[in-house]
Amino acid sequence: MKFFIDTANLDQIREAQALGILDGVTTNPSLMAKEGITGQENILKHYVDICNIVEGDVSAEVISTDFEGMIKEGEALAALHPQIVVKIPMIKDGVKACKYFSEKGIKTNVTLIFSAGQALLAAKAGATYMSPFIGRLDDISTDGLNLISEIRLIYDNYGFDTQILAASVRHTMHIMDCAKIGADVMTGPLSAIEGLLKHPLTDIGLAKFLADYNKGN
């Protein structure tokens, strides 16, 4: 299972990278704005800064909603750095753009997936990754994890190569449940990843080992 961090915050990306378990980064226009990164030039520079911190794939989202615009933007993003994955919205022109990029060998991440039907289309269009938003489904009392299970079943039925990138992960149990279902990738905040570390018996056990060691010294 690949671990991506879902942020545009360079300090958090550095921290996750230093942990040695990071496989990539996802961003979106809202995450960029949250870090105060605005304007095309600054946004493009920020993507390159992120690529220079991590070794894996970095999703960079197009803001065009028409085919020609997405192609122009996506090609410019892909030319920025070999680690860039072009992130495309799940709309009609997005499906066409995904097919275009997949034929050109440019990696894609089809985003804003909320149904198994959308996931099937993304795979048919040759997406590298597709991002079902589990937290946003949970927010409206719909089971986000159930969507991951449905997509896993469909992709396995036909041997699709498209990777299920569980997105909108909000907490540590989302990561564990996605791992059990078999999501290929999860993207979430650093806090959710660090939650995997925690167990009180680890802390108690370590304190006892150190105390016992110090008795003899």
Q: Is 87 a catalytic residue?
A: yes
Q: Which CB sits closer to ligand E4P, 162 or 187?
A: 187
Find the farthest-apart pair of alpha carbons in the chain and give their distance in angstroms, rounded. 72
Q: Which uninterrupted H or E stretch holds 61?
A: strand 57-61
Question: Does residue number 131 form part of the binding site for ligand E4P (CB under 6 A)?
Answer: yes
**Cβ at position 93, least distance to ligand E4P in Å:** 19
Q: Which uninterrupted H or E stretch holds 25?
A: strand 24-26
**Cβ at position 166, least distance to ligand E4P in Å:** 9
CA dist list (Å): 183 to 26, 91, 130, 164 = 16, 23, 11, 5
Q: Which uninterrupted H or E stretch holds 67?
A: helix 67-80
**Cβ at position 133, least distance to ligand E4P in Å:** 5
Question: Does residue number 135 form part of the binding site for ligand E4P (CB under 6 A)?
Answer: yes
Q: Which parts of 25-44 interact with ligand E4P (CB under 6 A)? A: 26, 28
Place of tokens 């495309």: 88
**Cβ at position 171, least distance to ligand E4P in Å:** 11
The sign one gets for the Cα dihedral 109, 69, 40, 106 is: positive
Q: Which CB sits closer to ligand E4P, 95 or 188?
A: 188
Go through the chain and tell me how many residues it has: 217
Q: Which parts of 82-111 interact with ligand E4P (CB under 6 A)? A: 111
| Interatomic CA distance for residues 10 and 16, integer angstroms | 10
Q: Which CB sits closer to ligand E4P, 116 or 167?
A: 167
| Interatomic CA distance for residues 155 and 12, integer angstroms | 32
Site string for ligand E4P, 154-193 (x = CB under 6 A): -------------xx------------------x------
**Cβ at position 217, least distance to ligand E4P in Å:** 48
Q: Given phi > 0 = left and psi -120 to 50 = alpha, else beta, which region is 200?
A: alpha
Q: Which CB sits closer to ligand E4P, 12 or 187?
A: 187
Q: From the candidates 2, 45, 87, 92, which is the catalytic residue?
A: 87
Active-site annotation, residues: 87
- Catalog residues that contact ligand E4P under the rule CB under 6 A: 6, 26, 28, 111, 131, 133, 135-136, 167-168, 187
